[in-house]
Chain A
Amino acid sequence: MNILSIPLRYMLRKWPKTLLLFGVFTLGAASVVALDHVSSRVAANMERQLAAFGANILVRPRTDTLRVGYGGVSLGAMQFGARHLDEAAVERAAATIADRANIATVAPKLLALAMVRGAGGSPVNVGLVGVRWDRERRIKSHWRVDGAYPDEAAGPAGPARPAKLADPDAPRGVVAGARAAAALGVAPGGVVRIAGQDLRVAGVLRPTGGDDDSVLLADLDFVQRAFGLEGKASFVEVAALCSGCPIDEIAAQLAAALPGAEVGALQGVVRQRMHSIGFVQKLLLGVSLVILLTACAMVGLSMLAAVNERVREIGLLRSLGFSRGAVFVIFCFEAACIGLAAGLAGYALGTLAGGEALGLIDVARGAAGEFDGVRLAATAGLMGLLATLAAFAPAWKAARTEPSRALTAL
């Protein structure tokens, strides 16, 4: 036994009161944790959805153009330099720059002109774009497809999976732009022949009004192999997100890491994105602060009531030679214990509740149950500290209690 036994015995013997205070503080902690959980998830989700507006950095091979003309007659321009990027080099650059955490998606593409035979029989010249399906779809979430994407299980109207799929290297089929599909006379489930291989048309894009309408989209690996350009990309679209740092900086970092490439930033979109994410986070932070302040006020008031109620006990302690500091410690420790315990319970409760809430608003389903030891400790520590601070004024009042208060008969 030591001085801490006094508040511990008190909390134990007055457990209904302790429990009530613990409950209030736990609820406060839980709401803040849940809000934080939801806020970070919603922000991440928004980032993902906003990324759908498209890439904001374009990486192209550096080309020097020489205007060719003679005697005032322009003969056009001649291009020098590499025509392709090294896919792995761009990946590496994106993964190593200082702001790498802000890079959401790296989507390499290889362009080629291919003779494609569709349902009509005679081959047609069509633009073929090799893509990494998972990444492409992340930045082109405005795409709507009849049929399915080659990388997903066959959709409702999708074709049967080809037996060849067992071979991991086999091309998984193509998606045709609306105009390209019309020109080739193919529909979802049809077959096109490219570079001597039959590929299933997994889906047809609804008209986008853009370049995508007139091309065929296929696996990047397939296009690279078919045209002998293994590991190459014509250009790479990068979706970067950052709060606080300008997109130009990320572009500059990429440019520095890729001497052979030209990196361009598309400004406006990102700024808008980060602004709306920041707004949501600020709002939730504000609500959290209000909740925490309320919880602290409740702890403070409750401690104040306890001090007034226990004034003769405090007087007794003082008359037994307990210093003011000792009395102060007794009350602060009581609050700290409740805060700490409430922090632990609140973290557990808040994480669960946050997961449930996310499920309800249909964002990031199944995101609950991510217990993080560091965050748990931080929450408990913070709540302990807050409760202790809230108890400072009442504890100070207790410490100033005159020992003569023990003498007065009630």
Chain B
Amino acid sequence: MLEVRNVSKAFAAEGTVTQALHRINLAVAGGDFVSVAGPSGSGKSTLLGVMSTLVAPDEGAVLYNGENVAAMGERGVDRLRRRDFGVVFQFHHLMPTMTALENVLLPFLHRLRPVGASLADRARECLERVGLAHKADCLPAHLSGGEQQRVAIARALVKRSRILFADEPTGSLDSATGDRIMELLCGLNAEGLAVVMVTHNEEYAALARTRLTMRDGMLADAGGTCCAACPA
């Protein structure tokens, strides 16, 4: 479904060049659950960025369903981000001036045509799915960290993404809240959503079907595939 081929990425900052990714190869199958672990600064976020089209690689290619993302053009990439890819960042990244429901609807607000009632209903369902139906009209500032993260997940759900990219989705949450987020991700994965998740947490990483570990911009080892680790 998603393939990363020979991807390298370097950052030049203040005179020093950091090789964030070095000749990475990997593939994500449809419905897969991939976890990426590794020390801080090892290039996990950069890898996630490259996979989700948010970071352009210096070398190599990213293929989605066999098609090179770089060849899709700007509009094609925009469409991909809008339709197939969902992203959840470590620091929630909701629009602070919009309510939870409006944030869930955000992927549909890219044009002048008004959002129909059916989409609004769908957004409400997604909020319900993450257990936040009662907070639909709250601003992000009035939501806890875990709730904000769940809104971000609902935002990825509402457009029926095929792959969800999550960068340390539990990184800034306490363990109980983190557990709930993981439960949610596992449930969604069981329904067919592919998940690529960066995490520091060994326990959570162990829930993934495919486990990857990064070190100095390279994949350290393929890890053991741990099938059906998600509690059913």
Q: Contact residues of A with B, CB < 8 Å? A: 1-6, 9-10, 12-14, 312-313, 316-324, 326, 402-404, 406-407, 409-410
Proximity bits, B89-128, A CB within 8 Å = 1, else 0: 1110111111000100111011111110000000000000
Contact A323 B75 (CB under 8 A): yes
Contact A9 B81 (CB under 8 A): no
By a CB distance below 8 angstroms, the chain A residues around B78 are: 321-323
| Complex CA–CA separation, A12 to B98 (angstroms) | 10
| Complex CA–CA separation, A321 to B107 (angstroms) | 7
Within 8 A of A (CB), among B37-96: 45, 48-49, 52-55, 74-75, 78-83, 87, 89-91, 93-96
Contact A326 B97 (CB under 8 A): no
Nearest chain B CB to A15 CB, angstrom units:
10
Contact A320 B49 (CB under 8 A): no
Given contacts A320-B81, A407-B54, contact A1 B102 (CB under 8 A): yes
| Complex CA–CA separation, A364 to B115 (angstroms) | 54
* B139 interface residue (CB < 8 Å to A): yes
Contact B97 A9 (CB under 8 A): yes
Ranked 4 nearest A-B pairs via Cβ: A321-B82, A321-B81, A13-B97, A403-B54
| Complex CA–CA separation, A317 to B109 (angstroms) | 10
Ordered by A's residue number, 13 sampled pairs between the chains whose C-beta atoms are within 8 Å are A2-B111, A5-B102, A6-B95, A6-B109, A9-B98, A312-B93, A313-B95, A313-B96, A320-B155, A321-B80, A321-B81, A323-B78, A402-B54
Contact B110 A321 (CB under 8 A): yes
* B32 interface residue (CB < 8 Å to A): no
* B147 interface residue (CB < 8 Å to A): no
Contact A404 B55 (CB under 8 A): yes
Contact B95 A409 (CB under 8 A): no
Contact A5 B109 (CB under 8 A): yes
Contact B82 A407 (CB under 8 A): no
By a CB distance below 8 angstroms, the chain A residues around B79 are: 321
Nearest chain A CB to B141 CB, angstrom units:
10
Question: Pick the contact of A324 from B74, B105, B107 — CB < 8 Å?
Answer: B74
Contact A320 B111 (CB under 8 A): no
Contact B91 A409 (CB under 8 A): yes
Question: Pick the contact of B110 from A313, A320, A409 — CB < 8 Å?
Answer: A320
Contact A10 B93 (CB under 8 A): no
| Complex CA–CA separation, A155 to B81 (angstroms) | 85
Specify the chain A residue showing the minimal Cβ separation from B120.
A1
By a CB distance below 8 angstroms, the chain A residues around B105 are: 1
Q: Contact residues of B with A, CB < 8 Å? A: 45, 48-49, 52-55, 74-75, 78-83, 87, 89-91, 93-98, 102, 105-107, 109-115, 139, 155, 167
Is chain A's interface secondary structure helix, strand, loop, or mixed overall? helix
| Complex CA–CA separation, A318 to B53 (angstroms) | 11
Given contacts A2-B112, A319-B54, A321-B81, contact A406 B93 (CB under 8 A): yes
Specify the chain B residue showing the minimal Cβ separation from A329.
B112
By a CB distance below 8 angstroms, the chain A residues around B45 are: 407
Q: Quick one: which of A1, A326, A406 has the most chain B CB within 10 A?
A: A1
By a CB distance below 8 angstroms, the chain B residues around A318 are: 54, 81
Contact A3 B107 (CB under 8 A): no
Contact A403 B111 (CB under 8 A): no
Nearest chain B CB to A12 CB, angstrom units:
8
Nearest chain A CB to B78 CB, angstrom units:
5
**5 more CB-based (< 8 A) A-B contacts, given A1-B114, A13-B139:** A2-B114, A13-B97, A321-B80, A321-B107, A323-B78
Contact A4 B91 (CB under 8 A): no
Nearest chain A CB to B13 CB, angstrom units:
12
| Complex CA–CA separation, A176 to B75 (angstroms) | 88
| Complex CA–CA separation, A117 to B49 (angstroms) | 109
| Complex CA–CA separation, A360 to B106 (angstroms) | 54
Nearest chain B CB to A19 CB, angstrom units:
15
By a CB distance below 8 angstroms, the chain A residues around B139 are: 13
By a CB distance below 8 angstroms, the chain B residues around A316 are: 89, 93-95
Given contacts A1-B115, A2-B109, A407-B89, contact A320 B82 (CB under 8 A): yes
Contact B52 A326 (CB under 8 A): no
| Complex CA–CA separation, A266 to B199 (angstroms) | 93
By a CB distance below 8 angstroms, the chain B residues around A14 are: 97
By a CB distance below 8 angstroms, the chain A residues around B115 are: 1-2
| Complex CA–CA separation, A288 to B80 (angstroms) | 49
Contact A319 B109 (CB under 8 A): no
Nearest chain B CB to A402 CB, angstrom units:
8
By a CB distance below 8 angstroms, the chain A residues around B83 are: 321
| Complex CA–CA separation, A3 to B167 (angstroms) | 27
Question: Pick the contact of B91 from A1, A9, A404, A410 — CB < 8 Å?
Answer: A410
Contact B112 A3 (CB under 8 A): yes
| Complex CA–CA separation, A4 to B115 (angstroms) | 11
Nearest chain B CB to A408 CB, angstrom units:
8
By a CB distance below 8 angstroms, the chain A residues around B97 are: 9-10, 12-14
Contact B91 A319 (CB under 8 A): no
Contact A409 B90 (CB under 8 A): yes
By a CB distance below 8 angstroms, the chain A residues around B80 are: 321
Specify the chain A residue showing the minimal Cβ separation from B165.
A319
Contact B49 A322 (CB under 8 A): no
Nearest chain A CB to B123 CB, angstrom units:
10
By a CB distance below 8 angstroms, the chain A residues around B55 are: 404, 407
Contact A404 B111 (CB under 8 A): no
By a CB distance below 8 angstroms, the chain B residues around A323 are: 74-75, 78, 110
Contact A9 B102 (CB under 8 A): yes
| Complex CA–CA separation, A164 to B132 (angstroms) | 91
By a CB distance below 8 angstroms, the chain A residues around B53 are: 403
Contact B54 A406 (CB under 8 A): yes
Contact A322 B54 (CB under 8 A): no
Q: Quick one: which of B52, B95, B96, B139 has the most chain A CB within 10 A?
A: B95
Nearest chain B CB to A303 CB, angstrom units:
16
